[in-house]
Structure formats: C-alpha cells, structure tokens
Structure 1
Amino acid sequence: MIEQNAAKYELLITRLIGASPETVYRVWTERTGEWWAPKPYTTPEVNIDLRPGGRCRMLMRAPDGTNLPDEEGVFLEVEPNRKIVFTNAFAPGWIPQDPFMVVIVTFEPEGSGTRYTARVRHWNEETLKSHEAMGFHEGWGIVAAQLAELAEGQAAATAA
C-alpha cells in the first residue's frame, strides 16, 4: 500500500552505466559539480555531508551567469555504493522548509555495469506536475548521461 501511494507521485530516471556500482557512487559523491547540472548549466558550489542528517546543497548557474535558487536539504539514508536518499523538506538541523521532493538514488549491479535509478517522490500531484513541466525527464536524463560518461571514463582509466 505505501509503495503504491509513493509511486503515484513519483518520477523516475534509470540508466545502465558501464562501470561498477562503486565507481558510479564515487563519481556521484566526489565529482557532483561535474555532472549535477545539465550542460551548459554548471554547478560551481557543492556542499555534501554524506550522512543521515548531513547537508546536501548545490548551487546551479545558468549559462548567462545567473545563479538559480539554492537546492538545499538533508540526507536521510546513505548506504555506500548502493543507495542515497535525500530531501529538501528539511534544512540542516532538521529545520522544516517547504517540501518539494524526496530523491531515492540506487546503484544496483547489473551484468558488468550498474543500473542507476533516481526515483523522485513528490508530496502531491501539483508538485509532480510542476517538476515535469520544469523539464524533469529531459534534465534528469541529461545529468544521468553526464554521470555515466564520467563514471565510464573513470572505469576505463582505472582499467588501463
């Protein structure tokens, strides 16, 4: 019952990445500024305290130099090389703020690579539709491709 209701307001991106879950996780957590924003946007500031309750903040910048509103929240669950859950419903210190989403990212072994999945759950239909209208599928698809490119490049460099 809970899973069914969660999926009602869920958007999803999945991609098979040709690198191990450990490599994809490492790129996700250590090279976030290189893939977080769909190019030509950039992410000049990344503040990650990768633990439950830790800060999760990214600043994205438009090609014209305009900073977009901060994306800030907290991590809820961190399982190295397997799963990261974060939300913007809280600021650090568990200070409530207007919620928009909970993101569940998984890194599952599949063949010789990783099934990367980002499930983005919203509180209601209005926020889900707003996120879709903002270009969720295109934008999150682009960043998944950017993450894949970096992870596959790192895997190739390590193998060489």
Structure 2
Amino acid sequence: MPANDETRELSVEKRIDAPIDAVWKAWTGHLEEWWCPRPWTTELIERDLRPGGRTAMIMRGPNGEENVIEGVTLEVIPGRKIVWTDAFKQGWVPSDPFMVGTWEFTPEGDKTLYRGSARHWSDETYEQHKLMGFELGWGVAADQLEAVARRIAETVDA
C-alpha cells in the first residue's frame, strides 16, 4: 500500500511571523537566500512562475556536491499557491519524475501559515526523500524563508 493514504506526500507547516505579502515576496524574489539548508547554496538559473514556465537551479553542498533541479510550473495563484513538478522540462519534455511540489500561503492576521508539500510518483521516491531528510531540510528552509520574510516586512514598515 502506498505511503500516506496513497498520496505519497511529505509536508511541513510553519506559522511564519510575517504578513503574507512579505512571505510571498521572499518565496518568489529571494529563493537563493532560503531554498536549501545552509551551508548548501542555491544558484537560480531560471524561474518562470506561469503554467508551463521553466524552473532551473543548482543546489551546491559544502563538499562540492551538486543537485541540478529542473521542472515546470503547473499552477500559480498569486499570493496563495505555487505548484511545480520535475516530471517535465521546459516545453513539456518528459523527464525522470521525482515529485510534485506544492507551496501554500494562508494569511492569519499579521502572520502566515506556510505549507510545503511533496507528492511522489512511487513508494521508492517517497522513501528516498524521507531518508534524504525531507522534514528537517524543508523545516530549516521554512525557518530561513521566515527570516527573509521578516527582513522584508521590517523594510516595508520602516
């Protein structure tokens, strides 16, 4: 039986101490600052937040590791939701699929409920992502996103 009620979904939630506009700006405009847990870094090659738009980046580890990520945007609801997959490259060219990522932003007064989730094509990729440290890694990234969003909110309020 597939993991997690047949969705093979892993997710993290965080109540971010920043308004939704600042969180959205941090997510969409400052990805290189928060995307992967330090000391890893992210080089953003391209990100087109329109259905069919390309996202390409390279995550680099402290020991020379490189993880190239490429995929397409499936859905964007400005200020609320982004859905992306690596099952295709730009131009709808099929690729070796790993996941469908969904990032949701819900306003809660002057805070934001952030939810990032990954649905996997197989039990194997689900388990692989768990073993890679999904919960810790995406949790640390959410903390880093919050720091960027708070900085943006403070700049706007100043």
Tell me which interval the TM-score lies in, with the shorter structure as reference length.
over 0.9
Which amino acid is 2:92 matched to? W
Which amino acid is 1:123 matched to? W
Please list the CA deviations of residues 57-86 of structure 1 after superposition, one character each: whole Å capped at 9, or x if unmatched: 11111113x251311100000111000000
Match of residue 27 from structure 1:
26
Any stretches of 5+ residues in structure 1 without a counterpart? none
Any stretches of 5+ residues in structure 2 without a counterpart? none
**1:157 Cα deviation after fit:** 1.9
Match of residue 46 from structure 2:
47
Q: How does 1:64-143 map to 2 (within 5 A)?
A: 64=63, 66-143=64-141
DSSP 3-state at the match of 1:142 = helix
Counterpart Cα distance in 1 of 2:28 and 2:38: 19
Counterpart Cα distance in 2 of 1:78 and 1:37: 21
Contact preservation (8 Å) 2:15, 2:113: yes
Which amino acid is 1:74 matched to? V
Bigger proportion of residues as helix: 1
Please list the CA deviations of residues 76-108 of structure 1 after superposition, one character each: whole Å capped at 9, or x if unmatched: 001110000000000010001111000110010
Q: Report how many residues are paired.
A: 155
**Structure 1's 46 and 67: CA in aligned 2 closer, same or farther, altered over 3 A?**
farther
Superposition TM-score, scaled by structure 1 size: 0.92
Which amino acid is 1:59 matched to? I
Counterpart Cα distance in 1 of 2:152 and 2:118: 27
Which amino acid is 1:11 matched to? L
Which 4+ stretches in 1 moved above 3 angstroms? none
Counterpart Cα distance in 2 of 1:40 and 1:46: 19
**Structure 1's 109 and 42: CA in aligned 2 closer, same or farther, altered over 3 A?**
same
Q: Give the RMSD, CA atoms, in angstroms.
A: 1.4
Contact preservation (8 Å) 2:20, 2:110: no
Give the share of equivalent positions with the same residue, in percent.
46
**1:22 Cα deviation after fit:** 1.6
Tell me if 1:37 matches 2:36. Answer: yes
Contact preservation (8 Å) 1:55, 1:92: yes
Counterpart Cα distance in 2 of 1:35 and 1:57: 16
Please list the CA deviations of residues 26-73 of structure 1 after superposition, one character each: whole Å capped at 9, or x if unmatched: 110111111111100111234101100000111111113x25131110
**Structure 1's 99 and 32: CA in aligned 2 closer, same or farther, altered over 3 A?**
same
